[in-house]
Structure 1
Amino acid sequence: MSDYPTVHSKYSVQVVGGAIVDSLEKPTKLLVGQRSAPEEFAGRWEFPGGKVEEVESAHDALVRELHEELGVAVRLGSEIAGPHDQGWELNEKAAMRVFFAEIVDGEPEALQDHAQVRWVKLDRDILELDWIDADEPIVRELLNIAL
Structure 2
Amino acid sequence: MKKIGTIILLLISINSIGQNLVECGIDNNPKLTQTESEFLTEYMNDEQLKNYDLTDKKVIFVTGNSAQQLGTKSEYFDQIKQSNKNENKIATWIVELNENERKISGGYDVIITYWVKILTKKRKNKIINEIKASR
Give the TM-score band, short-chain normalised: under 0.3
Normalised by the length of structure 2, the TM-score is 0.25
Higher strand fraction (1 or 2): 1
Structure number with higher helix proportion: 2
| Highest RCO, 1 vs 2 (Cα 8 Å, sep ≥ 6) | 1
Give the TM-score normalised by the residue count of structure 1.
0.24
Bigger radius of gyration, 1 or 2?
A: 2
